[in-house]
Amino acid sequence: MDFSFTKKEEQFRQELRTWLEENLPEGWLAGNRELPEDEEEYSAFLRNWQKTLHEGGWAAIAWPKKYGGRDATLMEEIIYQQEMVRVKAPPLVNYVGIHMVAPTLMQIGTEEQKEEYINKILIGEEVWCQGYSEPNAGSDLAAIQTSAVKEGDKWIINGQKVWTSFGHLADRCFLLTRTSHKEKKHQGITVFLLDMKQPGVETLPIVQMDGKKEFNEVYLNDAVAYDADIVGEVDEGWKVTMALLMHERTGIGAQVFTLEQQFEDLVKLTKELHVNDQPLIKDPFVRQKMVDFYTRFRGSLLNYYRHLTKTLKDGHPGAEGSMDKLMVSELTKELFDYAVSVQGHQGVLWKKDALVDSYWQDNFLQSFGMTIGGGTSEILRNTIAERILGLPKDLGR
Ligand SMILES: Cc1cc2nc3c(=O)[nH]c(=O)nc-3n(C[C@H](O)[C@H](O)[C@H](O)COP(=O)(O)OP(=O)(O)OC[C@H]3O[C@@H](n4cnc5c(N)ncnc54)[C@H](O)[C@@H]3O)c2cc1C
């Protein structure tokens, strides 16, 4: 395979670079990347960034042109990821909408749903969240208990969701409910596109170990939805659930480009830090670790390219997304663990007190979640064993 870029692709890169230089928030490229602490200001900042991306035609380049995307080629998508990571671009507030809900609606939604939601997702008018996990249903997702009962022309929804990322900012939720109790728990599930801004929906933030509040408990007390909000068929929501999950895992796998940048940052760190007047990188054990990281991260990257090619051919992601997600999340955790440990006892210093840059400590704390959200590493290993290697089913499920 040839991984070099053509002249046309390099022009695409240059176009994006120029646009980023002109449109990133003021001071961003100079390193002033603090996001507002205040929740409303934070939300306004991120919505504004998504609006800017959309106006420049850079919000959802992989989408078909008819939905406002660019019909980007595989190589253009790779270039886009590389450039966004290079400038450490602000996060996408409507990540769930752009990378998970909209592609699923394009695949499975009704024409009315596509018409109603896809453009609002693109322009950032509506932010989405994903209402899957419950206190007693995480890995065993089919055990969900949140109920939806038909009363007249309404569906009345009651139950509790947990770990709902962006739930406090979201206008709509891709919500999993139980609509009937059948012999098999994977049956009797229905997906609704729920309006979050209604009296029956209450969100309570969960404080993470890094002090941030990025996900929530969501309480549903007689929340209301309609037939038009159902994705797919009543009681047949499991395949809809899986379609969205595949988009989620593939999206997390794409963080292999972030990992590429983080690896380069780690090399720089080991050149900056000194022990006995020698840069750390001169230490043979450190060098060995760097080679180890490099080989494994290159392996993940090449595997990601392989999977992306297959996704483009098939038109939708497959079970291989689980491999990408597993490798990237585990490697990221290991890399930040190492980066903090090479700072010795000062590695525990954080925020303004950090020895080098709180970037290392912040990402170390965040990295644990990556190996859990979107499917834990153990569950992904089960998926790979069953769906890719054809091994017997996990007896626990
Ligand atoms: C950063 C982050 C963001 C998230 N965002 C969302 C969101 O937006 N929406 C949403 O719905 N959820 C979200 N989640 C929740 C996430 O999907 C669940 O945490 C995850 O599915 C695991 O479920 P659980 O926490 O209930 O753990 P459990 O399922 O209870 O698992 C506990 C432990 O047991 C292991 N285990 C369980 N079953 C098996 C098995 N069969 N074989 C081997 N090991 C097993 C697991 O790997 C894990 O180590 C998020 C989580 C994180 C960390």
The stretches in the chain having pLDDT less than 50 are none
3 state DSSP class of 144: coil
State CA 299 to chain mean position distance: 21
CA of residue 215 to ligand 1 center, whole Å:
13
Give the C-alpha separation, 394 to 397, whole Å: 6
Of ligand 1's listed atoms, the one at least distance from the Cα of 368 is 53
Whether residue 382 has its Cβ less than 6 Å from ligand 1: yes
Q: Which pLDDT does position 319 carry in this prediction?
A: 83
Residue 106 contacts residue 118 (beta carbons within 8 Å)? yes
User: H or E segment at 103?
Assistant: helix 102-108
Q: Which pLDDT does position 397 carry in this prediction?
A: 59
Q: Which residues contact 335 (CB under 8 A, 6 or more apart)?
A: 259, 262, 263, 266, 293
Q: Which residues contact 32 (CB under 8 A, 6 or more apart)?
A: 26
Q: Which pLDDT does position 310 carry in this prediction?
A: 83
Whether residue 363 has its Cβ less than 6 Å from ligand 1: no
- Catalytic positions: 248
The model scores a pTM over 0.85: yes
Structure-block tokens of residue 365:
């704390």
Start-end of H helices in 283-376: 284-314, 321-341, 358-370
Look at the block and give the residue holding tokens 């009543």: 234
CA of residue 135 to ligand 1 center, whole Å:
10
Q: Which residues contact 269 (CB under 8 A, 6 or more apart)?
A: 280, 339, 342, 356, 360
Structure-block tokens of residue 240:
């809809």
